[in-house]
Structure formats: structure tokens, C-alpha cells
Amino acid sequence: ENHELAGAITNEPTYSNQTNYNTEGFFFRGMYDYDGKYFGQVSYRRDGSSRFSPAHRWGDFYSFGGAWILTKEDWMAGTKSWLDMLKVKFSFGQQGNDAIGNNRYLDTYGIGSMNGDMALTFASKGNDKITWETNTNINAGLEFELFKGRLTGDVEYFYRKTTDMLCFISVPMSMGYAGYYSNVGNMVNRGVELNLAGDVIRTKDFAWNINLNATHYTNEITKLYEENKNEMLSGYAGYHNGSYYYGEGLPIYT
């Protein structure tokens, strides 16, 4: 027996990994400006993502908006001594979200070894029904400038609705995998934001400016799909995901 050669040959692990992420999009935008006081814009985009199955790969997203500078109207001439600019604005827009990582719609497997033999192991659970999460934003507000620009500001109401929320659904590790991604429901954020900026002192050699920002908003999960309402907590139907409870009618991350 040659003790010097015992264990001289070892099995070295070999690793290989490759992922591809592709997107494709088509975009159209039209803009309108009349007399420097009426403005409008419309846009449309169609996006495709390799992160979803071919049956759910494409999403359509729209937006439009407009603004009106009231101080350019003749009937506002009497305010010119103190009101430099007053604008009303409105916008509606949609954006898609596919930030879930690659191959989440496929079951994936890993190749390993056991006692020198090749073994195939389950790596992750896929869901071929997942599709784009859509964020719809509605904004309406006012912008103004007063006293030769010494006081400026804007106040805006915002409404953001997320439909087909993409969330990771955790499962017991005894299932053989940690969880999977799913479109679980809808969520709404709404609120008001105020921005003010003013020159307290403005001289040739010195300026003192103060900025103020205030925001108030609420958040609520407005809808969960029936397959995700498998628990009840304080009267709210939903599900646990790790240390958080997602309940219909509750804020997210409760």
C-alpha cells in the first residue's frame, strides 16, 4: 500500500452560470405648445421583457398631460404687480416594472454530484403566469411665483395605483424551495406635497433663502387576489410573507 499517494486525486467542483436579460420597446410621443401658455403631451410605449413567459411578455403603457399658464391671459393683467407666474398642471402616466430577476417564470435545476455520481437538484420554483406590474400616476397641481420671484412654490396632489404587484411568496423550506414570484394584487398611494422657496434677504452682496417641503400621504393594499387571501388578521384577509403581513385594506409591510 502506497500511503504517499492515498488521496492524491481529488474531485474539484466546477461551476458555470450564464443569464441573459433582454428588453424591447416601441415608443411614441407628441407635444403641443400654443402661444407659450397652453401645453399638452401624449405618449405611448409597448415594452417586452424576457423576464416573463412569451404569453405575458408584452405590456402597453400610456401617458398624457397638460398645463396652462394663467398669468399670460389678458384677464390676469391686474395681478402683474405681485403675481409673476401661475400655472395649473395635470398629468396621467403609466410605467411598467419587471424588477424581479431573471428566469422567475421557469422552474430551474442545478447539477451537482453525490458520491462521485451526477445529481440533478431542484433550485427554484417558477410561475409562468407572472406579468408586468403597472404603476399608474395621476398628478394635479399649481406652480406660482410672487413678488418678482422672491417667493416661489408648488402644491401638488398625487395618486399612484400599482396593479398586479410583483411580490415574492415565501413557502416552508420543506417544500424544497424558498418561494416564488406572483402578481398578488393592487396598492394605492395618495397624498399632497407642498414646496416653498423664498428670499428672506436679497441684496447685491448677500442672499438668504429658505426652502420648505411638506408631504402627507397614505398607503393601502386595495385588492389581493383570492389565492393570496389565506389568512385573517384583525379582520383583514391576506397572507404572511416573512415577518410582514399583507392584508387587503392595510398599508404594505404591516
Domain ranges for the chain: 25-247
All cell numbers assigned to 249: 385594506
Cβ–Cβ under 8 Å, residues 184 and 214: no
- Compute the residue count for the chain: 254
pLDDT computed for residue 166 by the predictor: 93
CATH architecture of 25-247: Beta Barrel (2.40)
Closest CA to 24 of 83, 98, 101: 98
Cβ–Cβ under 8 Å, residues 55 and 49: no
Q: What is the dihedral of CA 116, 119, 122, 124, to 10 degrees?
A: 60
Q: Specify burial of residue 90 (Cβ count, 10 A radius: 0-12, 13-18, 19+).
A: middle
All cell numbers assigned to 155: 402644491
CA distances from 77 to 9, 19, 81, 83, 148 (A): 92, 62, 9, 10, 15
Cβ–Cβ under 8 Å, residues 197 and 152: yes
Q: What is the DSSP string of 154-189?
A: EEEEEEEEEES-EEEEE--GGGSSSEEEEE-EEEEE
pLDDT computed for residue 77 by the predictor: 86
Q: What is the pTM of this model?
A: 0.80
- Low-confidence residues in the chain, pLDDT < 50: none
**Distance, CA of 40 to chain centre:** 25
CA distances from 133 to 4, 14, 98, 130, 150 (A): 62, 37, 7, 9, 43
Q: CB neighbours (10 Å) of residue 61?
A: 19
DSSP 196: E
E strand or H helix at 102, and its extent?
none
Closest CA to 182 of 170, 172, 168: 168
State the distance between the two ends of the chain, measured CA to CA, in whole angstroms. 67
